[in-house]
């Protein structure tokens, strides 16, 4: 199988699994227990917190473990808007992940002022539309990198323009793909997920800058300094630690390799698949994502394309959700102002550190043949 759906999830690194195993077996203690077994589990959790914090430029007390990116994104909005009355307004980009968009909508329904920051036709937030939100009682949420088209947002510039506002960035797709440090970006909140960087599913983290009052969105236990109740998932946390360590220590090598293969993919697609349209910009994009459409996308069935690739052992995905047999243009494509044919049948290729040149070449050959066949079938 050729797996090019690494933005959905990645294969767990064997070293991650190896580090986790003792905590699923003999070291099964609850970190809140006083006995030796519990104390060893506590040490494992706190070591992980310390190392992850160090690798992202944070202090350990600023890292809260969560069940993943979705929970962390929800927690930021809910803590600022509902659990505490920290903000009057919440503003997010139009291409955020639904785990930001939905809680923001809820905040609007419950009486907060809500606004959307538009993006340009390439998928970059419009900086000229941001300055107006520089207010102490405003939460701004702009993702570091988009999961569909891979654009990297100018978070540092947003911070400079809005130094008074609270700033959150969803770094689920960027951590381990491009340099990321909370201290360099100057943000107040950041979201991470382990399974996007060869770690286990069901674990992630939320960075909350020291001094910001953060209210638990989940209650009933004093874990995570009273900010997230629930017994810590020790094995998952240890796996997350190893995944982040490897992703960041090998970052330069991984980044260069993936970008080379992504560029090769782009060049081969342009050469061998007539009418291909690229939605991922050449500059300021993640090294591992390439999102494409087709000039005649309204005459190609996007789902049929994905299924045909799957039948040939190639796993990719689209950005569009399919409901009741009609393929809907994704909210990201719509936000880019793309509702024409090229937004109808789309493919997101997402590479990993393990992707090979042979896989890229085979994928393009296979896709070229499938597209040609589909076009021929229409002319019969």
Ligand X SMILES: Cc1ncc(COP(=O)(O)O)c(C=O)c1O
Q: Would you tell me which residues interact with ligand X (CB under 6 A)?
A: 68-70, 73, 97, 99, 143, 147, 170, 172-173, 193, 204
The whole-angstrom distance between residue 175's C-alpha and the CA centroid of its chain comes to: 8
Q: Please name which of 248, 82, 100, 247 lies closest in space to residue 170, comparing C-alpha atoms.
A: 100
Contact 327, 341 (CB under 8 A): no
CB of 366 to ligand X, least distance (A): 25
Let me know if 322 is a catalytic residue: yes
CB of 198 to ligand X, least distance (A): 13
CB of 315 to ligand X, least distance (A): 15
Instruction: Return d(Cα 204, Cα 338) in angstroms, integer.
Output: 32
CB of 9 to ligand X, least distance (A): 8
Q: What single string gives the DSSP state of each residue in 306-343?
A: HHHHHHTTEE-B-S--EETTEEPPPHHHHHTT--SGGG
Q: Which of 81, 92, 162, 322 is catalytic?
A: 322
CB of 300 to ligand X, least distance (A): 25
Cα first-last separation, the chain: 32
Instruction: Return d(Cα 373, Cα 73) in angstroms, integer.
Output: 42
Residue in the structure block whose two tokens are 């993006």: 119
Torsion on CA atoms 356, 358, 361, 362, rounded to nearest 10: -110
What is the DSSP code (8-state) at residue 47? H
**Which positions are annotated as active-site residues?**
322
């Amino acid at each position: 199988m050729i797996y090019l759906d690494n933005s959905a999830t990645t294969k767990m690194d064997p070293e991650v699994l190896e580090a986790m195993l003792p905590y699923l077996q003999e070291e099964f203690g609850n970190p809140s227990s006083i006995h030796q077994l519990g104390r060893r589990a506590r040490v494992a959790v706190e070591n992980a917190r310390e190392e992850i914090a160090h690798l992202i430029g944070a202090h350990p007390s600023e890292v809260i473990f969560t069940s993943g990116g979705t929970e962390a994104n929800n927690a930021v909005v809910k803590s600022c808007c509902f659990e505490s009355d920290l903000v009057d307004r919440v503003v997010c980009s139009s291409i955020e992940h639904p785990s930001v968009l939905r809680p923001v909508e809820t905040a609007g329904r419950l009486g907060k002022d809500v606004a959307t920051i538009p993006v340009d036709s390439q998928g970059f937030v419009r900086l000229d539309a941001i300055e107006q939100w520089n207010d102490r009682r405003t939460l701004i949420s702009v993702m570091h990198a988009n999961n569909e088209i891979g654009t990297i947002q100018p978070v540092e510039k947003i911070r400079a323009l809005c130094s008074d506002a609270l700033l959150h960035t969803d770094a689920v797709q960027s951590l381990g793909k491009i340099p990321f440090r909370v201290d360099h970006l100057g943000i107040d909140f950041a979201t991470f997920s382990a399974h996007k960087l060869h770690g286990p599913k069901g674990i992630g983290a939320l960075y909350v800058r020291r001094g910001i009052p953060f209210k638990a969105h989940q209650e009933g236990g004093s874990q995570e300094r009273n900010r997230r109740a629930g017994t810590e998932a020790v094995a998952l946390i240890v796996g997350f630690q190893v995944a982040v360590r490897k992703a960041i220590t090998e970052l330069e090598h991984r980044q260069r390799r993936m970008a080379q293969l992504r560029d090769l993919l782009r060049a081969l697609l342009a050469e061998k698949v007539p009418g291909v349209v690229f939605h991922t910009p050449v500059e300021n994009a993640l090294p591992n994502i390439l999102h494409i459409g087709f000039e005649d996308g309204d005459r190609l069935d996007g789902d049929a394309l994905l299924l045909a690739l799957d039948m040939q052992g190639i796993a990719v995905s689209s950005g569009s959700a399919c409901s009741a047999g009609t393929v809907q243009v994704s909210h990201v494509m719509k936000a880019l102002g793309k509702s024409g044919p090229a937004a109808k049948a789309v493919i997101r290729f997402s590479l990993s550190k393990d992707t090979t040149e042979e896989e890229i070449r085979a994928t393009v050959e296979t896709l070229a043949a499938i597209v040609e066949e589909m076009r021929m079938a229409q002319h019969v």
